[in-house]
Amino acid sequence: MSYIKDKFKVKADELSAEVKELIKNHGNTKIEDVTLAQVYQGMRGITGLVTETSLLDANEGIRFRGYSIPELREKLPKAPGGKEPLPEGLFYLMLIGELPTEADVQTISSVLGRRSHVPNHVFDAIDALPLTTHPMTMFTIAIMALQTESLFAKAYAEGINKKDYWSYVFEDSLNLIARLPRVAAYIYRRKYKGGQHIQPNGELDWASNFAHMLGYTDDAFNELMRLYMVIHADHEGGNVSAHTTHLVGSALSDPYLSFAAGMTGLAGPLHGLANQEVIKWILDMREELGGGMPTKDQIEAYVRKTLADGKVVPGYGHAVLRKTDPRFTAQMEFAKTHLPNDELVRIVWMVYDTVPGILTELGKAKNPWPNVDAHSGALLVHYGLVEYEFYTVLFGVSRALGVLASLCWDRALGLSIERPKSVTTEWMKLFVEGK
Ligand code: NMX
Ligand code: MLT
């Protein structure tokens, strides 16, 4: 791993010098104006963050260091016999900014395998929670319990030079990514499989070891996990989980604290919890209609009822995207190859044929198209992972790759504590009156 860390340091020094020059020569350049509405409405459209790992285009979707999802599926190294990219390769790409070789991916895989040990007190913390606790609550508590292992927190307490922060954040980030599948699988097996835990297999790649610890031995499920872990990993810096991790990290809270904070945001229904909400919504619809395949008219009526009840249609809409999410399309392609006749998948596709027209007709949602969450549940159910409350934990394990690679960059670039200015509505009223 040390050669990858050395390479990161070289890249970080180069970019730090470029950023210093940019600020020195163009520090007063105005990027855009901010409207009063933007300040009240979730800062939508305000460019206020720098995130190196990925960039979102409203129409085209996400690019990771310049590579789209179809390009990643083609270019990133695969497991022997596999067709989907290994998430370790995406982590390398986000960290270093270059496509990895097979050997780079192998190095990361084996480092993650070696660092995956989770101390017993973390399992004790999970075990202390009632079984009814939501898996995302268990997950964030377990990450907080893991914070005892932070090398950054320890080094900071001992007194380190700020030039070295990045090095400890780098180590913590790798250790945390290595440990998360074990923690997540422990939560799953405790809550849903009677506490019959499965030990990690150090021979496997990161995603298939996770699948193995969840209890899956199917090669197709390993492939799904690899794809799932790649497509959920990062979505530039402004989404709630990435932004929160970055914000909390800016106070020099260590990667465990920062990531746990990000995960509490991912657990919200307008963000990552939509992963579970979509399948719940489809299953509720099916139950209400008496089971089996609904007709297009029945789906349309159910969508209209959802909206009339003042609820959102989960899996549709986006704060930035204005077209079908390429992460939805990648999952649709996976389904077409592996499970084209699955009933739930076919319902997902019928919903896709129905919802955009209705949302467009009503004209309120700025984006009527599906996001990543609209498809994932149906794929997981097909392979037997039916416990939908767990889905956001899968999202969280994947999201660690992006937000922790970004946290390494934040500290390597020496980014400042985040502290935007806020005002009161009284201030706003006086401001618009010109006082
Ligand atoms: N169903 C019903 N109404 C919607 C939907 C939807 N899927 N999407 C947007 N709207 C409404 C939205 O609630 C808002 O209504 P109001 O003015 O009464 O507050 C109006 O349309 C305008 O919202 P937008 O500006 O289009 O969306 P915004 O940027 O505020 O929010 C989401 C983006 C993603 C939060 C929103 O589209 C949504 O709630 N979608 C459903 C939940 C979901 O799928 N979230 C997952 C996002 C991806 N992820 O994993 O994080
Ligand atoms: C994400 O993956 O974080 C979601 O699509 C939400 C977002 O980008 O705002």
CB-ligand 1 contact for 313 (6 Å cutoff): yes
Q: Which ligand sits nearest to residue 231's alpha carbon?
A: 2
CATH superfamily of 109-270+390-412: Citrate Synthase, domain 1 (1.10.580.10)
Q: Give pLDDT, residue 241.
A: 98
Residues 57-68 have pLDDT tens digits of 999 999 999 999
Question: What would the pLDDT profile of 171-185 be if each residue is shown by its tens digit?
Answer: 999 999 999 999 999
Q: What is the complex's ipTM, to 2 decimals?
A: 0.99
How many whole angstroms separate alpha carbon 237 and alpha carbon 241?
Answer: 9
For the stretch 127-186, pLDDT in tens is 999 999 999 999 999 999 999 999 999 999 999 999 999 999 999 999 999 999 999 999
pLDDT of residue 266: 98
**Amino acid of residue 260:** A
Catalytic residue among 212, 318, 375, 382: 318
CA-nearest residue for atom 9, ligand 2, is: 239
Q: What's the half-sphere exposure (Cβ side, CA atoms, 13 Å) at 415?
A: 23
Consecutive 10-residue runs of the chain (435 residues): their mean pLDDT? 93 98 98 96 97 98 98 97 97 98 96 96 98 98 98 98 98 98 98 98 95 96 98 98 98 99 98 97 95 95 97 98 98 97 97 98 97 98 98 98 98 98 98 92
Selected catalytic residue, list 104, 234, 254, 373: 373
Whole-number Å distance, alpha carbon 206 to ligand 1 midpoint, is 33
Q: How many angstroms separate the alpha carbon of residue 239 from the centre of ligand 1? A: 13
Ligand 2 interacting residues, C-beta cut-off 6 A: 235, 239, 271, 319-320, 371-372
Hey, whose CA ends up nearest to atom 30 of ligand 1?
319
User: What are the residues facing 357 on neighbouring strands?
Assistant: none
272 close to ligand 1 (CB < 6 Angstrom): yes
- Residue whose Cα lies nearest atom 8 of ligand 2: it is 239
Active site residue 382: no
Question: Of the candidates 103, 104, 132, 74, which has an alpha carbon nearest to the alpha carbon of residue 7?
Answer: 104
Pocket test for ligand 2, best of 232, 239, 241 (most atoms within 8 A of CB): 239
Please report, rounded to a whole number, the percentage of residues in the chain having pLDDT higher than 70. 100
Q: Looking at the whole model, is its pTM more than 0.90? A: yes
Q: Is the CB of 367 under 6 A from ligand 1?
A: yes
Domain ranges of the chain: 109-270+390-412, 274-382
CA pair distance 254, 252, nearest whole angstrom: 6
Half-sphere exposure of 324 (CA within 13 A, CB side): 14
Residue in this structure with the two tokens 């139950």, named with its chain if needed: 287
Which ligand is located closest to the Cα atom of residue 38?
A: 1
Let me know if 243 is a catalytic residue. no
Position in ligand 2 atom list of the atom nearest CA 242? 3
CA of 240 to the centre of ligand 2 (A): 7
What is the Å distance from ligand 1's center to 348 Cα? Answer: 18
CATH of 274-382, one of 3.40.50.300, 3.40.50.720, 1.10.230.10, 1.10.3720.10: 1.10.230.10
Q: Distance (Å, rounded) from C-alpha 376 to C-alpha 379? A: 5
SS3 150: coil
- As given in the structure block, the two tokens for residue 9 are 């340091």
Mutation to probe ligand 2, out of 243, 323, 371, 401 (largest number of atoms < 8 A from CB):
371
Q: What one-character DSSP code corresponds to residue 63?
A: E
Ligand 2 midpoint to CA 104 (Å) = 28
Torsion of CA 139, 141, 145, 151, to 10 degrees: 70
Distance between CA atoms of residues 206 and 228, nearest Å: 12
Q: 365 alpha carbon to ligand 1 midpoint, in Å? A: 6
pLDDT at res. 84: 97
d(CA 427, CA 33): 18
- Please confirm, yes or no, whether 410 is among the known catalytic residues: no
Catalytic residue among 271, 325, 375, 382: 271
pLDDT value at residue 435: 81
365 Cβ inside 6 Å of ligand 1:
yes
Query: Residue 236 corresponds to which amino acid?
Result: E
The Å distance, Cα 360 to ligand 2 centre, comes to 21
With the most atoms of ligand 1 within 8 angstroms of its CB, the residue from 366, 398, 399, 403 to mutate is: 366
